[in-house]
Structure 1
Amino acid sequence: MSRDIAQEESVRETVQTFFQLLGTGDADRVADVFAEEIDWYVPGDESLPWVGRRTRREQVPGYFNLLWPALVAGESVVEFHKLLVDGADAVWLGRFTHTVQANKRTFTTPVAFHFTIENGKIVRLHLYEDTHAVSQAVAA
């Protein structure tokens, strides 16, 4: 099987753009890197309003507009460990540390994002993290 180096570089650039846009805090700009139809999945405790599936680009800002206010602004730490790219798929590995706004609890979780990129747009984003740690930290 031959590798498509140009495709993999495009995938890598799209994932990097996603994380750069996250840093802007502008949920609408983050949504711009997604295709119209998406396979978005963030598993977790259903009491957390941001978890679950999304299928359309216009649903992306809603995720961040629910999540970001739940965390203390300026106190999150994102550690990048590795980006693996194979064809249209990419896996971003790292660790997040956040502080919950409501109770000031800090939690750290390893994270893995599975992206699929088509024509420079994200068509799949699945987030894997320690959902138990997130739920425990957010619990009142």
Structure 2
Amino acid sequence: MVNNDSSLESLVARFLQALANKDAAGVEALFADEIDWFVPGHPDLPWTGARSKGSQVAEYFHTMWPHFDSDKSSVQLDKLVLSGEDAVIFATFAHTARSTGRSFVTPAVLHLVAADGEFVRMHLSEDTEAVARAFFD
């Protein structure tokens, strides 16, 4: 059943549920065709950087998720702020890099912007140095 409720609160709830289910296609379906997506980080980490097409969202997750040990990963939702078309998610990420076995914990902030019932922007802020140290010497 398709949920046609386009409110920001509903859109964010569907985003979080798709992430919790590791449903990359479900997350992608919530984004417009043209987007402003940015994940900062070490240039040798293949999921970092900018994306401009909604069709690139699932690829982002399919590229990133295998690099983490899913049995040693957690995401804690700390706070959600909704204002107009902006959603700001404050979270804490705890992951272990599969390639090195090193763990890291980082506060994270996702800034999402919606228009016409779809997300048009997602910018992530996190401790990129902690992430890089988990993967590189």
Identity %: 42
Give the secondary structure class of the aligned counterpart of 2:71.
Answer: coil
Counterpart amino acid of 2:115? E
The residue type paired with residue 49 of structure 1 is: P
The aligned runs of 1:74-113 (5 Å cut-off) are 74-113=71-110
The match for 2:56 among 54, 59, 64 is 59
1:6 alignment partner in structure 2: none
> Match of 2:72, SS?
coil
Q: Superposed, which structure 2 residues align to 1:18-37 within 5 Å? A: 18-37=15-34
Per mean C-alpha deviation after superposition, the further-off stretch among 123-132 and 17-26 is: 17-26
**What SS does the corresponding residue of 1:68 show, helix, strand or coil?**
helix
One-letter amino acid of the counterpart of residue 25, structure 2: D
TM-score normalised according to structure 2 size: 0.91
The CA deviation at 1:74 is 2.9
* TM superposition shift of 1:75: 2.1
Letter in 2 for 1:42: V
Q: Secondary structure at the match of 1:44?
A: coil
Confirm or deny that 1:114 pairs with 2:111.
Answer: yes
1:123 aligns with 2:120: yes
Give distance in 2, aligned partners of 1:29 and 1:11. 16
Cα deviations across residues 65-118 of structure 1 (Å, max 9, x unaligned)?
111000012321111111111100111001000011111111000000000011
- 1:15, 1:26 → 2: CA distance? 14
Matched, 1:43 2:40: yes
Q: Which runs of 5+ in 2 are unaligned?
A: 1-5
Q: In structure 1, what is the equivalent of residue 10 of structure 2?
A: 13
Residue aligning to 2:67: 70
Q: What TM-score do the two structures reach when normalised by structure 1?
A: 0.89
Alignment coverage as a number of residue pairs: 132
User: Residue 124 of structure 1 aligns to a residue in which SS?
Assistant: strand
Which residue in 2 is equivalent to 1:133?
Answer: 130
Q: 4+ residue runs of structure 1 moved beyond 2 angstroms?
A: none
